[in-house]
Amino acid sequence: MSLSSPQNDRPQFATRALYQDVAEHLRQQIFSRQLEPGEWVDELKLCKALGISRTPLREALKVLAAEGLVTMKVRRGAYVTEMSERDVSEAYRILALLESDSAAQVARQASDAQLTELRALHEELERQVATREAFFAANERFHMRLLELEGNRWRQQFVMELRRVMKLNRHHSLFREGRLEESLAEHRALMQAVLARDADAAARLMRAHFENGLRATGATV
């Protein structure tokens, strides 16, 4: 990966909380695969490309390490995190537990107006099925809004952090031929259960959604 660019093409960062802006820039490079899983983060090259000193870069890398997006190795520096099959399997199983319960809670307690909002997010997902990256974004909005409607802030925070790391792997599940359409069909069934206020069905369908996603990754652990 080459980060060299003319000075006037460099990303422009605010002087306040510079390391946070740098961290967000690196996140997007990781999620877009400009920085690949397992790749060594060349600090000198990044500093030159971004026009910054090593201090904000290292602070940014600490943030990304805390998020699980990079791994710090003694005397070797930072590497973009690689998810093993076991990592992927465990993450999907945790998400299945957390989000299935959340779906049940929303089916039980959400107001009619909140369900209308959730249905609108699902309809946006339907419209984006032909565009993979837009589908990813719409899918994320749906799942996170469902958690927000439930109102358990601890669950929201944990799922948000786990989903951030899962972006390192998401392409492997939804890139399998036909999986994106299968995922959308699962969302339709889930949405119907939530609108019908069938909490048991909502929980079961959300669990199945993640179980199918895990199988699509090819992980065997």
pLDDT per position as a tens digit, 64-117: 999 889 999 988 999 999 888 898 899 999 999 999 999 999 999 999 999 999
Q: What is the CATH number of domain 85-217?
A: 1.20.120.530
Q: For residue 172, is pLDDT > 90? A: no
User: Does this chain's domain 7-80 share its CATH topology with 85-217?
Assistant: no
pTM of the model: 0.78
- Report the distance separating Cα 103 and Cα 7, nearest Å: 48
CATH architecture of 7-80: Orthogonal Bundle (1.10)
Question: How would you class 168 by CB atoms within 10 Å of its CB: exposed for 0-12, middle for 13-18, buried for 19 or more?
Answer: buried
> For residue 205, what pLDDT is reported?
98
C-alpha distances out from residue 215 to 25, 162, 182, 199, Å = 32, 18, 12, 25
> For residue 177, what pLDDT is reported?
72
Q: What residues does each domain of the chain span?
A: 7-80, 85-217
Contact (Cβ atoms closer than 8 angstroms) between residue 113 and residue 145 = no
For residues 200-212, give the mean pLDDT: 97
> For residue 32, what pLDDT is reported?
84
pLDDT tens digit sequence for 112-152: 999 999 999 999 999 998 888 899 899 999 999 999 999 99
In sequence order, the β-bridge partners of residue 72 are 78
For residues 51-64, give the mean pLDDT: 94
Where is average pLDDT lowest: 54-68, 98-112, 143-157, 168-182? 168-182
